[in-house]
Amino acid sequence: MRVASLASVIGICLTLAACGGNTERTSVDQENKNPLTASRYGDELADAMANLVIQDDPAAKDPAMRKVIDAEIARGKKIGIDARAVQAKGLKGFIIPVREEVQGNVLYFEDMFYLSSDFITKPGPALHVFLTTAVDPRDIASFPDTTALDLGEVQNAYGAQSYAVPTQENPALYRTFVLFDLKLKRIYGFAQISK
């Protein structure tokens, strides 16, 4: 029964993917435009499919399904490799909490700023994402400093998100991400970013 159900699901997915020739298959593809999300997704996809083979799952014994599994392993690996290649070209860092619980990774690449899928923060009344040339925002008498770029309000307290960055003549000068609440005048956390 389980094999039949899996076969039906895979068949439906393949049919839907083939309709219209659309290369962007789902909202997952949209989310994977964030290189931090894409590397995690690709690695976990390849791992999940490989585990079907390793664990001798009945689906892996069916030649048609095995082709699907092998193709998904290859696709997952490619997504992960491509995403890490983009990350290597950008400025990366991990978030250091200051006054609130905050965690996650960040990436600045080609006028876009990304927060990872494991990003979390305590909510705030006016929590904003900033980039600044200051190395440590705690050393500034009154943040935001004159170099700080306000990328906007946090889109969600949990999970991956992307922000457009106004084009900068020298983006490498913007070496620090700051999570700052404008109403509370409070730094929640920051990340020093570099190659």
pLDDT on residue 178 = 98
Query: Do 43 and 126 fall within a single domain?
Result: no
pLDDT, tens only, 28-47 = 888 999 999 999 999 999 99
Query: How far apart, in whole angstroms, are the C-alpha atoms of residue 174 and residue 188?
Result: 18
| DSSP state at residue 53 | H
pLDDT on residue 94 = 97
> Structural domain tally of the chain?
2
More confident site: 14 or 132: 132
pLDDT on residue 29 = 87
Query: Do 79 and 125 fall within a single domain?
Result: no
Query: Do 186 and 99 fall within a single domain?
Result: yes
Query: How far apart, in whole angstroms, are the C-alpha atoms of residue 30 and residue 33?
Result: 6
Single out the residue in 64, 89, 114 at which a domain terminates: 89
pLDDT, tens only, 145-156 = 999 999 999 999
> Pairing state of beta strands 186-192 and 149-153?
unpaired
Single out the residue in 69, 89, 109 at which a domain terminates: 89
pLDDT on residue 25 = 54
What is the average pLDDT value for the chain, to the nearest integer? 89
Query: Do 85 and 115 fall within a single domain?
Result: no
* Percent of the chain residues past pLDDT 90, beyond the cut: 83
pLDDT on residue 17 = 43
Single out the residue in 33, 67, 89 at which a domain terminates: 89
User: Which residues form the domain of 7?
Assistant: 2-89
pLDDT on residue 39 = 97
Bridge partners (DSSP) of residue 150 are: 130
Query: How far apart, in whole angstroms, are the C-alpha atoms of residue 180 and residue 193?
Result: 17
Residue whose tokens read 């689906």: 59
Query: Do 110 and 69 fall within a single domain?
Result: no
pLDDT on residue 28 = 87
CB 35 within 8 A of CB 79: no
Query: Do 159 and 107 fall within a single domain?
Result: yes
